[in-house]
Amino acid sequence: METEYTGLVDPHGGQVNCSASSFTAGSRLPSFEKACYCDDSNIVAEGLVWDEVEYWEEVFAEEEARAAEAAAEAEAEAAR
């Protein structure tokens, strides 16, 4: 599912700022410049957009879980 784009659905049907904070868990490629465009003509199928959103939510959740586990292991090791 890794692609060169990601989707964002504005729950309010209005405007979305083009920034990492607008997307679930921020930018997946933080060191690369990006551009945003508005698909108000629905060129990309809504199902595909939701698939992308769900995919990246899972990726970021897994990364957070791994980081929390590593921090807990480091803390336990330091306590020994």
Q: What is the 3-state secondary structure (H, E, C) of 38-63?
A: CCCCCCCCHHHHHHHHHHHHHHHHHH
Structure-model confidence comparison of residues 39 and 4, the more confident one: 39
Each residue of 47-62: pLDDT tens digit? Answer: 887 887 788 788 888 9
Q: Supply the DSSP symbol for 4.
A: S
Each residue of 35-49: pLDDT tens digit? Answer: 676 777 777 787 887
Look at residue 72 and give its three-state secondary structure.
helix
Q: What is the pTM of this model?
A: 0.57
Look up residue 78 and give its amino acid: A
Tell me the C-alpha distance between 64 and 74, whole Å.
Answer: 15
